[in-house]
Structure 1
Amino acid sequence: MADRNVGITFRFRRNDSVGTADAESDDNYISDCFVETGDLEALRNSNSPKRIIVGRTGSGKSALIRRLGELEDNVIEVPPQNLSLGYIANSEILNFFETAGVNLDLFYQLLWKHVLTVELLKYKFNINTEEQKRNFLNNLFDTINRDKSKEQAINYLREWGEKFWDETEYRVKELTTKVESELKGSFGAGFSGVKMDASGGKKLTEEQKQEVIQHGRRVVNEIQIKALADVIRLLSDDIFNDSQQLYFITIDGLDEHWVEEKLRYKLIRALIETVKSFQKIKSVKVIVSIRLDLLNRVINATRDAGFQEEKYESLYLKLKWSHQQLEDLLDKRIGKLVRSQYTTRPVKLKELFPTKIGRTSFLDYLFERTFLRPRDAILFVNACLENAENKNTVTAQIISNSEGEYSKKRLISLQEEWGATYPSIGKYIKILEKKPWKFKLSSISKESIESIFYNDFSFDLDSNDIVIQAASDFILNNKGTLHSFLQILFDVFYQVGLVGIKPDATSKTFWSFHSNDGPSPGSVKPNSVAYVHSTFWRSLGIQIGD
């Protein structure tokens, strides 16, 4: 053991770590230890369509945005929390039209286009004084070639120009109030007794609903959508037209609670459409970070008849990490920890950890207990360092002692990550407890399913958890077969990363975090084999054998 760290005369101290789980509080490491995987290069390239960062929690989305802000001169951050969109959620008039069936997607796109346009202009012209505010539009228009095709854009800027300098939330409220007024004013005397709120929308007759939808559709289509399209062209042609001077707008934190859930999905869908439309401005790149599970929920909640998911694929920057990239990341972090506290000699992870754990190399052992994302790897190493106080290396015994707590925390984290999509996942995970590390689906009996579901909680017939719905149908209503239920259950386990699936003897084992190329539903049979991910062996009491 001593041969691996010749010349290193230190011992790990209490609270030593190689960084934190989130980029926002990882100041000591994130800049010095950043590993370029090719993703940052794609974001910085204005010609690359990649501008929606998609990844699971802990895969490095926020770190990418933060690093972009450190390297580029013109980066505008737009936190969704600052938009104060609760005003929209609480709008009685908008709720009335939504409930009646009016599609307000164009309005939500208008909102984003308006916000992003204003943020760009405020940043570009750096207005600081009242005089500059008064002269801004006149100076701007003097530089624009005033052809007729841009007249609507200029009128739009004139109308809203004096409000550009208000706080974002006031601009959002102002625009929403204008739309509310136009929607409300579109009705005649026949609706004088109708209450303009969600309850009123529910009480409409079918004839009234059709009239409301007709009025609402006309108003939404007329609310300066064409003008804003012209504004985007004006921005591209006359204002942000220097290919050597790039501007970036970054939007992170969409998974946080910034507006009520149902509206959040519609606003995120509208944001994706807006990002797509802003591609026309070649020297401006709007970059959005979104968790994979949230993106899936948005698409499912807002899917309409004309929706084509492949239209957005070119925008997605899907984060993936190789073993080598994760090793480079850990080497940089271990090197910084040791260099800053103990020695100036470069030190790598392999020098401080055992070569092997049993018959497996330590690095393979570590990466097998991650979803191949930075957060997992960092937290695994931190768990080991926490138990290595006063030691100069991390032993196999220390790793074994640390793994149980790491496994427990990762299981809790998985439930938190996917809880919005599968609210009861923490309960039906019990199906995997004390199972062998690999098993055929046919080894799970109906009696074992019934025992877990009856003993652990009562059925919630109104649950929006797909597994609970399937279990209710199968166990209570005798709908479907055991295998059809297991297909749904293990599809969820597969999606969240709890298990890998090997459909048959000749196919590979699929893991959701390796690629999007998963097993087709029809290929999963009773003889298909499930492999419990080794991250969760300790927390689930998995039986390990050959």
Structure 2
Amino acid sequence: MKYVFRRNSSVGAMDAESDEQFLRDCFLDTGDLESLISSDDPKRIVVGRVGAGKSALLTRLLETQTNAFEVRAEALSLSYVANSDIIQFFESADVKLDLFYQLLWKHVFVVELLRRRYRISEGDPWSFLDQFRDIFIRDQAKKRAVDYLRQWNDQFWQDTEIRVKEFTTKLEKKLSGTVDAKAYGITLNASGAKNLTDEVKSEVLHKAQSVVNENQVRELGEIITLLADEIFTDPKNRFYIVIDRLDESWVDDRIRYKLIRALIETVKAFQRVRSVKIVIAIREDLLRTVFESTRDAGFQEEKFESLILHLRWSKSQLKQLLDLRVDKLIREPYTQKRVCFDDIFRGAVRGESAIDYLVGRTLFRPRDVIAFVNCCIELCEGKEYVPPSIVQDAERKYSVGRMRSLRDEWSGHFSSLSACAELIRGRQSHFKYSEITEHDLMECIQEHWGEFLDNDPLRMVANEYLQNQRSANSCIIQMLKILYTTSIIGIKPEATERVSWSHLDDRGISEGQYKKSSAIYVHPMLWRALDIVPPARADRRRRTTDERQKR
């Protein structure tokens, strides 16, 4: 039977949750899965931008490893922690609860691991400890670890969220005991902390910090030693805890960043247990925000670098991914012969091979190439292949969609992203920084002021400019930095340097490198969405202008 594209044909969905069938049959292992599986490889924090394949990688880990299981952040009842009046009181009183948050994660992981290792149930949750009696006699530290576990009695086998609430409630009671609320005439909540005098606040801080620092620290440290030395010792019987979707709003941001930082510290602490690996996925921008918002004295970001697995895709890998997905789309219903991308995308597109043209209009992420191919296929109902003209016709919808996707991806950081993008609308594909005038800046701010929300760092910058407290040049630089960070533009600081793109270049661009002579390159992915003049057309326009001037 001859193949033709049917209505609603596609090479997969945009998100891992909706792409189950293609993910299962078309997973491309670039070596990252092997790194996560290996107990000798320290990498366990999967970092990448939206659409880079983080969820797909973790899903594959869960599917292929017998003792891999997921702990969902949104199911841990961490909102109970964030919404606790007592926790908010002590947070507002500047008590450092970081250690408590780390203990909370450790407690959750220890119990989940023991439950799964020994299949603990309601009937007899402690029978597994009998085999360690001799060890407890000669090692008091490990006996104390077990005594700590026994404190939980019937709560041990309960759902994780119940244990999180129980664990938090115990701390709340201890913390509450350090403050005589009636004597101070306050209520134990966030607003109550603001009414404390400096003297009382200092006293509260001292007493509460002691409680937090002493709260089961030794016992949980001893439990991890017990896990490492006696329980999870078989390198062939590895256990994996997987945590994804940390970028979703499972708890208020003011606590979420601290909880994620504590999670990262806990992941590092569990390296001691060689046959256990806690694997988490986190967006690149969220990780940066977590580190910036929780940075304290002595913080060293580089100590986590060995744990991080940065997701990177090459053009050849994206091509292999598309080959797998095209083959699944066509071969299953129509033919036994293998089908690849080149079989359905025939001919050059504006002088480039189809794969070069498509990949050149992505941020080297699977989601981008899948989206572009789907836009092309959508216009090919009843056709046998995708001609070059269709690729160009599909590009506008794809480009507008990618601009919308970037806006959504960065909305929590830069509400003004769309406004910043208007600063470069209608320009040539690359142009000099000096071509952006103060008139352009003022027009952009005035027309889009409603998009500069209070939590956007650019609002204050724009406000200072409008009040003559900041120069136009300084304001333009801040807008260009946002466009660079989000990969809408690349920067070529000097004529002798190469173009730097944030999604490809770890070195970044310093503020001092934004000069009037610097060249701005708009990413080809967004040319159609921003009405950018392509190079060939720009050259023709320039020649016409030169000829007119000569006349």
Q: Is the structural similarity TM-score above 0.5? A: yes
The equivalent residue for 2:199 is 207
Alpha-carbon separation, structure 1, partners of 2:421 and 2:181: 57
Alpha-carbon separation, structure 2, partners of 1:42 and 1:78: 20
The equivalent residue for 2:549 is none
Please give the secondary structure, in 1, of the residue aligned with 2:495.
coil
Given the alignment, which residue of 453, 461, 464 partners 1:470?
A: 461
Counterpart AA for 1:520:
S
Residues 1:522 and 2:512 are matched in the alignment: yes
Alpha-carbon separation, structure 2, partners of 1:189 and 1:101: 17
Aligned pairs, number: 536
The equivalent residue for 1:94 is 87
Given the alignment, which residue of 527, 534, 538 partners 1:537?
A: 527
Superposition map of 1:323-362 within 5 A: 323-362=315-354
Alpha-carbon separation, structure 1, partners of 2:38 and 2:181: 56
The equivalent residue for 1:4 is none
Alpha-carbon separation, structure 2, partners of 1:127 and 1:150: 20
1:96/1:199 contact within 8 Å kept: yes
Residues 1:488 and 2:478 are matched in the alignment: yes
Superposed CA offset, 1:369-422 (max 9, x none): 110010100111111111110000101111111111111111111000000011
Alpha-carbon separation, structure 1, partners of 2:482 and 2:148: 48
The equivalent residue for 1:256 is 248
1:137/1:161 contact within 8 Å kept: no
Alpha-carbon separation, structure 1, partners of 2:519 and 2:82: 46
TM-superposed deviation, 1:140 = 5.5
Normalized against structure 1, the TM-score is what? 0.95
Residues 1:280 and 2:310 are matched in the alignment: no
TM-superposed deviation, 1:523 = 2.0
Alpha-carbon separation, structure 2, partners of 1:207 and 1:275: 38
Alpha-carbon separation, structure 1, partners of 2:359 and 2:185: 65
TM-superposed deviation, 1:31 = 2.0
Given the alignment, which residue of 449, 452, 458 partners 1:457?
A: 449
Superposed CA offset, 1:345-368 (max 9, x none): 111101111231121111111011
The equivalent residue for 2:420 is 428
Does the C-alpha gap of structure 1 residues 536 and 189 become closer, same or farther in structure 2, counting only changes over 3 Å? closer
TM-superposed deviation, 1:433 = 1.2
Please give the secondary structure, in 1, of the residue aligned with 2:280.
strand
Gaps of at least 5 residues in structure 1 are: 1-7
Please give the secondary structure, in 2, of the residue aligned with 1:29.
helix
Alpha-carbon separation, structure 2, partners of 1:271 and 1:212: 27
The equivalent residue for 2:25 is 32
Normalized against structure 2, the TM-score is what? 0.94
Does the C-alpha gap of structure 1 residues 163 and 140 become closer, same or farther in structure 2, counting only changes over 3 Å? farther
Does the C-alpha gap of structure 1 residues 242 and 480 become closer, same or farther in structure 2, counting only changes over 3 Å? same
Alpha-carbon separation, structure 2, partners of 1:97 and 1:195: 12
Superposition map of 1:381-392 within 5 A: 381-392=373-384
TM-superposed deviation, 1:276 = 0.5
Alpha-carbon separation, structure 1, partners of 2:129 and 2:332: 52
TM-superposed deviation, 1:468 = 2.2
1:510/1:518 contact within 8 Å kept: yes
Residues 1:511 and 2:501 are matched in the alignment: yes
Please give the secondary structure, in 1, of the residue aligned with 2:211.
helix
Superposed CA offset, 1:245-300 (max 9, x none): 11100000111121111111110011000000000100000000001111111112
The equivalent residue for 1:398 is 390
1:76/1:119 contact within 8 Å kept: no
Residues 1:67 and 2:54 are matched in the alignment: no
1:52/1:287 contact within 8 Å kept: yes
Counterpart AA for 1:44:
I
TM-superposed deviation, 1:452 = 1.4
TM-superposed deviation, 1:87 = 1.0
Superposed CA offset, 1:424-458 (max 9, x none): 21222211211111111111111111111112225
The equivalent residue for 1:42 is 35
RMSD: 1.7
2:441/2:476 contact within 8 Å kept: no
The equivalent residue for 1:223 is 215
Q: Which moved more, 1:199-208 or 1:294-303?
A: 294-303
Alpha-carbon separation, structure 1, partners of 2:72 and 2:111: 15
TM-superposed deviation, 1:43 = 0.4
Does the C-alpha gap of structure 1 residues 110 and 129 become closer, same or farther in structure 2, counting only changes over 3 Å? closer
TM-superposed deviation, 1:151 = 3.3
Given the alignment, which residue of 48, 54, 67 partners 1:55?
A: 48
Q: Which moved more, 1:183-192 or 1:428-437?
A: 183-192
Please give the secondary structure, in 2, of the residue aligned with 1:317.
strand
2:92/2:194 contact within 8 Å kept: yes
1:109/1:270 contact within 8 Å kept: yes
Superposition map of 1:112-131 within 5 A: 112-128=105-121, 130=123
Counterpart AA for 1:36:
D
The equivalent residue for 1:376 is 368
Does the C-alpha gap of structure 1 residues 223 and 433 become closer, same or farther in structure 2, counting only changes over 3 Å? same
1:247/1:284 contact within 8 Å kept: yes
Q: Which moved more, 1:348-357 or 1:187-196?
A: 187-196
Counterpart AA for 2:6:
R
The equivalent residue for 2:358 is 366
Gaps of at least 5 residues in structure 2 are: 540-551
2:419/2:451 contact within 8 Å kept: no
Does the C-alpha gap of structure 1 residues 37 and 134 become closer, same or farther in structure 2, counting only changes over 3 Å? closer
Counterpart AA for 1:314:
S
Counterpart AA for 1:288:
I
2:484/2:502 contact within 8 Å kept: yes
Q: Which moved more, 1:137-146 or 1:12-21?
A: 137-146
2:122/2:154 contact within 8 Å kept: no
Alpha-carbon separation, structure 2, partners of 1:191 and 1:171: 33
The equivalent residue for 2:297 is 305
2:347/2:387 contact within 8 Å kept: no
1:137/1:158 contact within 8 Å kept: no
Alpha-carbon separation, structure 2, partners of 1:141 and 1:432: 71
Does the C-alpha gap of structure 1 residues 233 and 145 become closer, same or farther in structure 2, counting only changes over 3 Å? farther
Does the C-alpha gap of structure 1 residues 491 and 99 become closer, same or farther in structure 2, counting only changes over 3 Å? same
